Amino acid sequence: MRFALMIEPQQGLTYAEQLEVARLTERLGFDGFFRSDHYGSFPGPADQPTTDAWAVLAGIARETSTIRMGTLVSPVTFRHPGSFAKVVATVDEMSGGRVEVGVGAGWNEPEHAELGLEFAEIKKRADLMEDELAILHGLWEEPDAWSFDGHQVHVRSASFHPKPVQRPHPPIIVGGEGSPRSLRLAARYADEYNMSSSSPEQCAEAFARLDAECRKIGRDPSTVRRSAMVGVLIGADETEVDRRVHDQVAMFGSSAADSVAWMAERRSRWLIGTPDQARAMAARFAAAGVERVMLQDFLPRDLAMIELAASALIGRV
């Protein structure tokens, strides 16, 4: 099993702090460095500084050399699909071909309203996401003069240069919780399907349905990689675990009295506990068909926990 680190920089992290984490993941041997793509500050205080995901990744691309990088996930509501194709291709060139791109329909309405971004009902957003996936493939793979008529976006006689460094295109990740449409889109367009907020059992059930969707269109199911975004909270011993749980609960804005219930609700789908407990949970995800775990780190300033996660998990599950 492979492990990548995924952080939530909208909690106030500066570019310098994100670069420090990216360099650390590179040094520790993680499979990749991923970040969320949000403009609103949450969870926790709503007034923290936020940064643009792809501007940050462009900077990190020039200041690292081996780590793969990307978003989990970029909402189609934030950027026009054609412009997004150009941004990703540019960062792919800047990184020497190390970019992976997660695509989603968007979900957090307040951060759209704050920036004047349209937040349509889910069917319209999903239609736009389907257009985006088709356009990414078309602009990156098709010859000049490619045209396309989608649900909402229309392309005429495209000339797209340069193409991405990675051929035929940077890996495309479709994320979700196993909804029928997300699985259909992944079967048709994605290189990887990423489950979020899900237990190993939920992952296994969704992957079985993904297999069925692939077979419906004549695609070999094994050509779609399977991953899961999994919360991580690891301590060297129970005392350290308790301290990090306290820090995590406080960051989410809950009281210490809520910590037992908070942790109990997440034990079925997070890597929580000592290294042995974390490895046991990771093994359950592996048995469910997960090939790569994106460790969702809500305490990214706690660099010691990142180092502990690397030593506890990489090469040991």
* Mean pLDDT, range 275-297, rounded to an integer: 98
| 178: region left, alpha or beta (phi > 0 left; psi from -120 to 50 alpha) | left
CA distances from 84 to 77, 103, 123, 135, 171 (A): 11, 10, 21, 10, 14
pLDDT at 262 over 90: no
What pLDDT was estimated at residue 40? Answer: 92
- Per-residue pLDDT at 45: 84
Q: Is the pLDDT of residue 256 over 60?
A: no
What domains are there in the chain, each with its CATH number? 2-313 (3.20.20.30)
What does the alpha-carbon distance between residue 317 and residue 309 come to, in Å, rounded to a whole number?
12
* Cα–Cα distance, 309 to 163 (Å, whole number): 36
* pLDDT tier for residue 263 given thresholds of 50, 70 and 90: confident
Select from 242, 237, 280, 281 the least CA-distant residue to 262.
242
Whole-structure pTM over 0.85, yes or no? yes
Q: What is the mean pLDDT of residues 173-192?
A: 95
Is the distance from CB of 236 to CB of 308 less than 8 angstroms?
yes
For residues 261 and 163, the model is more confident at 163
Peptide bond into 73 cis (omega under 30): yes
Average pLDDT over residues 239-256: 84
Averaged pLDDT for residues 107-111? 93
Mean pLDDT of the chain: 95
